[in-house]
């Protein structure tokens, strides 16, 4: 069976043994530095990497952010864009390397700061382990609005 490189350019660790030499582009096998060209939502970005002709789609590891159309999703995406859009970032691959939707799974660092941890700290995402506990990302801004000054 042939691999669909157009829709799933990244090979999983298991697929690497079968399709590595058939890949029309370089596979991401180690940490790298690249420029963020798109923020899809609060936990997914696209990065240009000089070693490859097509952008690398990255799902940020260890966090869950709301989808753009969900409550808090636009705020999460906007915050992430303000932090890293157009900037150079360091991409540290997770052991799994590619997640179920074919995106690279990695931790993103900007100026030495773990962007995923900052997103959680700022209330724009939750840790992956806590994504189902309580069901939503806290809205700290609503809490601030309710305080009478």
Name, in order, each residue with C-beta under 8 angstroms of 105's C-beta and a sequence gap of 6 or more.
Answer: 58, 59, 61, 93, 94, 96, 97, 98, 99
The Cα 139–Cα 52 span in angstroms is 39
Span 4-45, pLDDT tens digits:
998 899 999 999 999 999 999 999 999 999 999 999 999 999
Q: Please state the pTM of the whole predicted model.
A: 0.83
**Domain spans of the chain?**
13-146
CATH of 13-146 given 2.40.50.90, 1.10.3720.10, 3.30.1490.20, 3.40.50.2300:
2.40.50.90
- Calculate what percentage of the chain has a pLDDT beyond 70: 87
The Cα 20–Cα 93 span in angstroms is 18
Q: For the chain, what is the radius of gyration of the CA atoms? A: 17
The Cα 96–Cα 85 span in angstroms is 25
Q: Is the pLDDT of residue 144 over 50?
A: no
């Amino acid at each position: 069976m042939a691999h669909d490189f157009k829709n799933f350019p990244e090979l999983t660790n298991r697929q690497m043994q079968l399709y590595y030499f058939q890949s029309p582009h370089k596979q991401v096998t180690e940490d790298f530095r690249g420029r963020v060209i798109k923020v899809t939502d609060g936990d997914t970005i696209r990065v240009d990497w000089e070693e490859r002709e097509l952008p690398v789609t990255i799902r940020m590891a260890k966090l869950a952010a709301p989808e753009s159309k969900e409550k808090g999703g636009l705020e999460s995406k906007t915050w992430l864009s303000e932090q890293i859009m157009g900037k150079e970032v360091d991409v540290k691959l997770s052991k799994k390397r590619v997640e179920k939707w074919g995106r690279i799974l990695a931790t993103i660092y900007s100026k030495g700061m773990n962007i995923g941890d900052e997103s959680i700290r700022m209330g724009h995402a939750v840790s992956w382990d806590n994504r189902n506990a309580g069901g939503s990302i806290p809205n700290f801004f609503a809490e601030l609005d309710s305080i009478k000054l």
